[in-house]
Amino acid sequence: MIDFSMRNCGIYCRFIQMTLPRSLTVLLAAMASCLIFACGAFGTETPPRLLRVPVYFITDRNLPSPDSAQKAAFGPHRKYIVDCKHDPYMGSGYCVVQNTDGKLITDELKKLGWSAASEDDQPESCNLELIQKETFGQIQDSFYKSVAASALVSKKAETVLFAHGFNTTFKTGYRTAARFAYKFEAPVILYSWPSAGRVRGYSTDETNNEWSQEHFNEAMERLESMCSTDARLTVRIFAHSMGTRLVVRATPFLRERKYITEAALVCPDIDAEVVEHYAKRYLSLSGTTAVRLYMSQHDKALVASQLIHGGYCRLGECADSIKSLITGTLQTNPVKTETPEQEGEALVQAKRRMHTIDFTTLDRGFIGHNIPVDLLYNFSTSGLPGPGLTTITERSGERNRMSRLFSRLSHLDPPKIAHPDNCLRIVKTKGVTM
């Protein structure tokens, strides 16, 4: 290994002067100076500790005052109490995030709106700006035009849509959306419906989530219109907890369009059998969307939801839900094939894009029910769980003990499946502590 200390550099220079012609010595000295300068320049470039990462938003929450929007202080109530005008707030802003991956701000990230945080910025602080035009149509046009422009300068020309879950304030949802933006390096849209942001508001959240459905459907239609104008544009959809209900109920509009590359349901708080109804009608064996269900046996929030809903199992508790739903699609959504063998191959291909992922190992805290953003990113981009982790294939259908107990007490314990599909369980690799 070459020692570039100043003392040794002097020795090397005197040796060169004694053994080489003067002209060649001058040339080599100039080259060495350039090399040392370049090494010093690159060595002094350090990643910022904090970054300002841009995030778009659509919300039908109430706005207590015009100034509160800038501080991401949207309220827990609906924007409309009586007459709904179907014009949710739209805009963009930034959230200050920890630069955990040590990213440098490249020219590509600058085009996306990334920048180093200022000295006054605090971690997780947010700053927003509403789009203000004369008509809502102009607001929509400006919003989706800006999203499309950002997507086209990202690596994969994609947009990420995130719908938060129960017990989530606007600011909390915005911070999570910023984590998605940090990992994917693509424009992220937060869809924030009026969650009360407190555990006691569960019933209110259910009502407001259902009320917000039509606004969410309209956002899906506009995203489809945006992607239809440029075939390069694609969308990934991530939803957590009660937010997954918006995605499932929007399937008549989504219908596995090719521009939707992924639909990920994280700890979905929705009746498992309701999802089966939607799957049988709208899930196509010829579709291309990757569908992933992320569940955890530490998830006590879904157990409580099961109890509230009379013992009926939630989708996030059923480890075999996604792949097992495929079997019912042959009768309702058959694929036009010439031979039974081709039909069987279509079923096999469909199951390959359906994954149930048990992330119990990563679900921290007493309640669980977390959003493993890093894991979602890794599976989305590589199909692997990430450094220090691997997957093992195991029999699915296993729920945690409390969930099984509530099912038996309510006489709703499902029959055992003779040959259940497999799921992927996340485990740590040997020698790795997390």
Q: In angstroms, what CA-CA distances link 128 with 59, 234, 271, 341?
A: 12, 25, 35, 55
pLDDT tens, residue by residue, 348-388: 777 778 889 999 999 999 999 999 999 999 999 999 999 99
Indicate whether 5 pLDDT > 60.
no
Q: 271 φ, ψ to 5°? A: -55, 125
- Answer with the residue of higher pLDDT: 398 or 375: 375
Q: Which run of H or of E encompasses 162? A: strand 158-163
Interatomic CA distance for residues 411 and 86, integer angstroms: 42
User: What is the structure's pLDDT at 259?
Assistant: 94
Number of helical H runs and strand E runs in the chain: 16, 12
Q: 109 φ, ψ to 5°? A: -70, -35
Question: For the chain, what are the domain ranges?
Answer: 6-43, 50-428
User: What is the structure's pLDDT at 151?
Assistant: 98
Q: pLDDT > 90: what percent of the chain?
A: 61
Q: Which of 280-284, 307-311, 377-381 has the highest mean pLDDT?
A: 377-381
pLDDT tens, residue by residue, 137-153: 999 999 999 999 999 99
pLDDT tens, residue by residue, 149-205: 999 999 999 999 999 999 999 999 999 999 999 999 999 999 999 999 999 999 999
Indicate whether 124 pLDDT > 50.
yes
User: What is the structure's pLDDT at 319?
Assistant: 62
User: What is the structure's pLDDT at 216?
Assistant: 98
Residue pair 410/310 in contact by the 8 Å Cβ criterion: yes
Interatomic CA distance for residues 212 and 217, integer angstroms: 9
Q: 323 φ, ψ to 5°? A: -70, -35
